[in-house]
Amino acid sequence: MKSPVSTVPAGPESNLEVNISSVSMCMRKGHVLYELDQDELVLKPVQDSVLGGIPFMKHAPGWMQRRLTMLSRMFMRTVSRCMERLDIKDEQAPLCFATSNGEINVVGKIMADLLGKRHRISPSDFQNSVYNAPTGYFAIATDRKFASNTIARGNLTFEYGLLDAVSRLACGERNVLLVAGDEAISTKWAEPAHSSLDLCGALWLSTAKDLPVLAKIAGIHHFKPRNQSQRREFENSLIKKNNARILRDHKACNGPCSLDEIDNPSAGIAHLLLNMKRDFIDQAMLISRSDIDQDMMVLSVEPK
């Protein structure tokens, strides 16, 4: 019988050293914007609540600056901060954008326009409704020619994006930029409960020896248990074997809310980044369970 566990190995045993070289994140709760302090790895409020001041946008055409949605602005801001940290603005690395909902509020507006009195939609709304619109804007604004893809998998979206990024590194890429983000749902055409705040984060993953190392990816485990008992057994065996801590079990406050209150499909990246300094003493694990089926992802991370 086929094993329910599949693993993308990383670390010394696999000859694949995957490093987290740079990180960034922003989150908007209410009308306040918070950004990740890259030295202290905590969220701090910033004055710019409208997500302006994006370096990449200095050379962007005016039409783009006027049309950017909240999701695209968060995307541009976090990528900008992540790349500035490494001073690698011209690096042509593949990009993976993990977003569960994409431009869901734009799609909701289009639905309202079509079914309401207008019976027509604006060209800019139609343009922004494309699922991977942020990556397109980013490519135009930076004149970067890179491979990019967009991944969606419910509340495992970040974890599946990370799986894609590490797989690319295993196939020979030197660097991969991973971005995960979703905006708060405001449209009545979608259930708002699963995303009530704006969140976007970025990781620069690398096998290069000349870049900083904040932490190392030790492995990614994909598990489809047949029942709850098998799920618990698998979790306990991993924790015992790796002397690990479960990141999602920590609910300490690292910013405007506790970790378990981050109500967003991309919460996995927040749990990872906000635990990096505190919990990576030996090894840490981010255990994520799907809200769609029995799917389960486990990310093993160790200190540099």
Instruction: Name the residue ranges covered by the structural domains of the chain.
Output: 20-206, 215-303
* Burial annotation 28-49 (CB, 10 A radius, 16+ → b, else e): bbeeebbbbebeebebeeeeee
Average pLDDT along the chain: 77
pLDDT for 1 equals 35
Confidence of residue 3 (pLDDT cuts 50, 70, 90): very low
Of the two residues 272 and 282, the one the predictor is more confident about is 272
pLDDT in tens, 156-204: 888 889 989 988 998 999 999 999 999 888 877 776 667 888 899 999 9
Least Cα distance to 301 among 168, 279, 289 occurs for 279
What would you report as the CA-atom Rg of the chain, rounded to the nearest whole angstrom? 19
Torsion over CA: 179, 89, 139, 145 (sign): negative
- Identify whether the C-beta of residue 106 lies closer than 8 Å to the C-beta of residue 128: yes
pLDDT in tens, 135-148: 988 888 888 888 88
Confidence of residue 13 (pLDDT cuts 50, 70, 90): very low
Q: How many CB atoms lie within 10 A of CB 71?
A: 24
Say if residue 12's pLDDT is above 50: no
In whole angstroms, give the CA distance from residue 269 to residue 267. 5
**Residue where the block lists tokens 């030790």:** 218
* Residue 125, token pair as written in the block: 């709304």
In whole angstroms, give the CA distance from residue 49 to residue 100. 24
Burial group, residue 266, by CB count within 10 angstroms (0-12, 13-18, 19+): buried
Of the two residues 225 and 296, the one the predictor is more confident about is 225
In whole angstroms, give the CA distance from residue 304 to residue 301. 9
> Average pLDDT, stretch 22-26?
92
pLDDT in tens, 215-249: 888 777 777 777 778 777 877 777 776 655 555 54
Q: Look at 34-38, 115-119, 253-257 and tell me which has the smallest mean pLDDT.
A: 253-257
Q: What is the DSSP string of 273-289?
A: HHHHHHHTTSEEEEEEE
- Identify whether the C-beta of residue 206 lies closer than 8 Å to the C-beta of residue 21: yes
pLDDT for 61 equals 77
- Identify whether the C-beta of residue 10 lies closer than 8 Å to the C-beta of residue 217: yes
pLDDT for 97 equals 95
- Identify whether the C-beta of residue 133 lies closer than 8 Å to the C-beta of residue 103: yes
* Superfamily, domain 20-206: Thiolase/Chalcone synthase (3.40.47.10)
* pTM assigned to the model: 0.85
Least Cα distance to 88 among 144, 49, 135 occurs for 144
Confidence of residue 131 (pLDDT cuts 50, 70, 90): confident
- Identify whether the C-beta of residue 127 lies closer than 8 Å to the C-beta of residue 67: yes
* Collapsed DSSP state (helix, strand, coil) of residue 102: coil
* Residue percentage of the chain with pLDDT more than 70: 73
- Identify whether the C-beta of residue 101 lies closer than 8 Å to the C-beta of residue 195: yes
Pair type for strands 283-289 and 244-246: parallel
Say if residue 124's pLDDT is above 80: no
Say if residue 9's pLDDT is above 60: no
- Identify whether the C-beta of residue 157 lies closer than 8 Å to the C-beta of residue 100: yes
